[in-house]
Amino acid sequence: MTSVLNQEVVFEYDSEATESRYRFVNPELPQKRVAYGSYSKESNVNFKLDPEDKKLWLDALRNGDFQQGNGALAEKRGNTIYYCCLGVLCEIKQVQKVDTGSTSNIRYGTSMDESSASYLPDYMESVLPTEYQKALAQMNDAGFTFEEIAQVIEVCL
């Protein structure tokens, strides 16, 4: 177990199980502030971000240039674009945007077939494996702030 700010961050791995679990809990905040899920036994539980990507991402999450949203990598509402923490990663990695014909949803990838509104394009798997994308997206959508997510990335990835 790793402690980040006042949050309990748990990555559980059982070599006998088919799945492992993660849980992010801030006991001082409302129950909605819990994100949890699972990842496959084959997952790289020792994954670490590229140090330069990590620095750029942490800086971007903390510098106030990105408005936080949820439910999509990025969404335009009025004149403002709201980002999930993963959408911020797409921006700093300069991932190509896909024209969806929508005026609100922003998708990233090389084509509509290859893009997702919620997760990174498949070719970004080596930058951040899917199980970690899911964990961070859950935290983002559960109401954790960019600063709280940055703390978890800093300590755990």
Measured distance CA(67)–CA(101) in Å, rounded: 23
User: pTM of the full predicted structure?
Assistant: 0.76
Task: Quote the pLDDT of residue 104.
Answer: 76
The H helix count followed by the E strand count for the chain is 4, 9
Measured distance CA(135)–CA(148) in Å, rounded: 13
Residues with pLDDT less than 50, the chain: 1-8, 10-15, 17-20, 29-34, 38-42
In order of 43, 45, 142, the CA distances from 76 in angstroms are: 33, 34, 20
Task: Quote the pLDDT of residue 89.
Answer: 96
Task: Quote the pLDDT of residue 73.
Answer: 92
Domain ranges of the chain: 48-156
- Scored b (16 or more CB within 10 A) or e, 98-127 reads beeeeeeebbbbeeeeebbbebbbeebeeb
Q: How many Cβ atoms sit within 10 Å of the Cβ of residue 5?
A: 12
Task: Quote the pLDDT of residue 114.
Answer: 59
